[in-house]
Chains A and B, each alone.
Chain A
Amino acid sequence: MTTPIIGQVINLLASLLLLIAFAMLSQRRILSLINLFALQGLVLSVSTAVVAYSSSQHHLYYSAALTLILKVLILPSILHRLIRKLNVKWDVETLLNIPITMLLGIVLVIFAFNLAAPISQMASTITKGTLGIAMASVLLSFLMMITRSKAVPQVIGFLAMENGLFFAATSATYGMPMVVELGIALDVLVGMFILGIFFFHIRETFDSLDLQHMEKLKED
């Protein structure tokens, strides 16, 4: 493939990521949220592989494989098992209604593009145009964490934010050094296990995973 086509493919995948981030923001059902998260991981993994091919950065193939295993297979299956075991209700209430959230999301995207513009100009990577999208998906996941009141969607937002950061690393610099990436992957995995245990504790104590029960600790 020639470079311009590859550039187009990468941009296409990046815009898919942005689309998925918006889809997650508007999604009410927890099951679809997990599937969207897995899809986001898949797109991320493919785009990393394409970048690896076009820039002949071989270590990126390992990152792509790591993403595929961790974020498409392991984490979604842990989440699926968790919601089955915890018998979580299907619907997710949001604290803000969805049209307003989407509008806020658009504002965040514009902000992210403006913030990323000066940095993208300095980058020498083939993917430099996508840094804005990476920042936008980080901010959108952040918005999702703020607007959800249940524990599981908050965690999915947290993991999606990590995806956005990973994408930022690939688009600005062809990925972080391998040691660091392995370390981050380990942290995410351990964090997920700890949260799994934690969910059970929360539900045992509160009979629900709704975080609105957890607003006792306030300053009087």
Chain B
Amino acid sequence: MEILWVLVIPLAGGLLLALYGHRRFAPELNSAMSLGTLIAAGVLTVRVITGGPFSFFEEQFFVDSFNVFLVALTAFVGFTTALFSRPYMRIEQHHGKLTANMLRLYHAMYQLFSFTMLLALLTNNLGILWVAMEAATLTTVLLVSLYRTPASLEAAWKYFILCGVGIAQALFGTILLYFAAEKVLGAGGNALLWTHLNAVKMQLEPTVLSLAFVFLLVGYGTKVGLAPLHNWLPDAHAEGPTPVSAVLSGLLLNVALYAVVRSKVLVDGALGSHFAGNLMMGFGLLSVVMAAFFLLRQKDIKRLFAYSSIEHMGLMTFAFGMGGAVATFAGMLHMTVHSLTKSAIFFAVGHATQKSGTQVMEHIRGLIKTNPTIGWGLTLGTLAILGMPPFGVFASEFLILTTAMHAYPWTTPFLLVALGVAFAAIFSRVQTMVFGASSGQRLPHPPALLPVFAHLGLVLMLGLYIPPYLSDWYRQAVALIG
């Protein structure tokens, strides 16, 4: 039942906001719907923690500790982003960038986007997972092009075509997976259910599965933003409204990575080798290194943090690729802290660009002077994302690095150099934006800074102390996918 609520609330929210999304109270309605989703997700989480994994509706939906933590995270960041978007979108409207109709589109699509992501996480059917991922692309295409500027249309078109082509590869991978599954499980809808596949994964045909995984990794990897398929990501992040950048970076990339990891579990079982892990490590390492060097050349603040997302997604893919208890644990912790930190950074960046009226970093100056909370939010968020102790990112990066040193020593120099370059690139830029003389103007609506500090507080807590139920939860998930 709880699963149904988690899905029905955002779907109903989407329909409701398609009707009323342009009204004065629409931002509050949007937040209320997201709060409803968060409460439903909380109830679901409690049930999984106390009662263990369960399936629903003839096994079409399935929750275990791996996806429930992502469901909770998605609902939480979905809610805080809705809170942030309340003043943000009002200011954008005040600046004359948005009409009432655009606002209606934005609110309706925001809820539908949450719905598609939660569906992708909760479904047990790998075919429906594909359908939901494609639907997530479709709902965000119009959000990226919301401002209708030439650059935003170009970014949206690139996003649609690249992700469309990518996700078509994933469909072919799913077809191949079904082809292998049908031999063991018989034809029909149940042959694509992950739980059924997981039970018989030893018997699946290895050659077909390895080919299927290549297609699935390339397909979903495009959405994760893995190099060299990452081209859409910086454009889509830079040109769309900032709340959309926050949910793209914080949530969508995670959900795509979730699809890859689910497939990896099956392929590992069928092959009994480290083939899938090696591929993921390769793509992950390439993304980390490439993103670090692209960071040096950025001029636009949102592009800068978009490349930082590519770097961190690469790091997670690398961690899941290494496999084993510690690396998988670190991968999941990194998923959590990255999505909290990165969305907090985008909240601060959003208000900072509104204050300065530009996204060009050279022209953003003196944030601490004009609005200390935005300035400190950005500074602390940047320190957190760069892996400074005591924030949670430090803990997960430390675990990933030490495991890599132990298991794959040759990767350590690449990772260390990349992290160092990223540190230099981001920190120097942020420092000049935060300190110095100011150039900003007053915002017509008070900015929403509670979400920024709520996220950073959680990341700080995860760096110092992981509550026992949370670590149990991670450990159960590690046992599932390790």
Contacts and interface: CB of A to CB of B under 8 A. Distances in A.
A110 interface: no
Contact of B187 (A168, A174, A190, A220): A174
Contacts of B182: 173
B127 A219 contact: no
A49 interface: no
Given A214-B154, A217-B155, A197 B178 contact: no
B205 A122 contact: yes
B211 interface: yes
Contacts of A85: none
B191 interface: yes
Interface in A87-135: 115, 118-119, 122-124
Interface stretch (A20-28, A69-77, A201-209): A201-209
Contact of B189 (A178, A205, A215): A178
Contact of A145 (B165, B175, B294): B165
A198 B297 CA distance: 31
A198 B189 contact: no
A1 interface: no
A4 interface: no
A167 to B, nearest CB: 10
B157 A202 contact: yes
A161 interface: yes
Contacts of B158: 214, 217
A5 interface: no
A205 B149 CA distance: 7
A201 B118 CA distance: 30
Interface stretch (B24-32, B129-137, B250-258, B428-436): B129-137
A154 B160 CA distance: 11
Contact of B150 (A165, A173, A177, A205): A205
Of A123, A161, A183, A197, most B-chain CB atoms within 10 Å: A183
A119 B168 contact: no
A158 interface: yes
Contacts of A190: 135, 138
A56 to B, nearest CB: 12
Interface string B163-198: 011001001101110110011000111011000000
A138 interface: yes
B148 interface: yes
A176 B131 contact: no
A19 interface: no
A180 B128 contact: yes
Given A183-B131, A187-B134, A220-B297, A142 B145 contact: no
A122 B138 contact: no
A119 B211 contact: yes
Given A187-B135, A214-B153, A180 B130 contact: yes
A166 to B, nearest CB: 9
B145 A198 contact: yes
Chain B interface mostly: helix
Interface residues of B, number: 49
A173 B189 CA distance: 12
Given A142-B165, A173-B175, A180-B131, A187 B138 contact: yes
Given A161-B165, A201-B145, A206-B150, A177 B188 contact: yes
Given A168-B172, A172-B175, A179-B127, A198 B157 contact: yes
Nearest to B127: A180
Contacts of B294: 219
A198 B154 CA distance: 11
Contacts, number: 133
A52 B140 CA distance: 37
Nearest to A178: B189
B68 interface: no
B168 A162 contact: yes
Contact of A165 (B175, B178, B239): B175
B344 to A, nearest CB: 26
A31 interface: no
A86 interface: no
B309 interface: no
Contact of A186 (B131, B155, B174): B131
B402 interface: no
A173 B168 contact: no
B3 to A, nearest CB: 16
In the complex, the 7 A-B pairs of residues with the closest C-beta atoms, listed nearest first: A180-B127, A183-B131, A177-B189, A214-B154, A187-B134, A172-B179, A173-B179
Given A122-B207, A154-B161, A168-B175, 20 more contacts: A57-B187, A115-B211, A123-B179, A138-B172, A162-B168, A165-B171, A169-B178, A176-B174, A176-B178, A180-B127, A180-B189, A184-B171, A187-B131, A190-B135, A195-B160, A198-B141, A214-B150, A214-B153, A214-B154, A214-B158
26 contacts: A119-B208, A122-B208, A138-B168, A145-B165, A151-B157, A158-B165, A161-B165, A162-B168, A169-B175, A172-B179, A177-B125, A177-B127, A177-B191, A177-B192, A179-B189, A180-B127, A180-B189, A184-B134, A190-B138, A197-B142, A198-B156, A202-B153, A214-B158, A215-B154, A216-B151, A217-B239
Interface of B: 125, 127-128, 130-131, 134-135, 138, 141-142, 145, 148-151, 153-158, 160-161, 164-165, 168, 171-172, 174-176, 178-179, 182-183, 187-189, 191-192, 205, 207-208, 211, 235, 239, 294, 297, 299
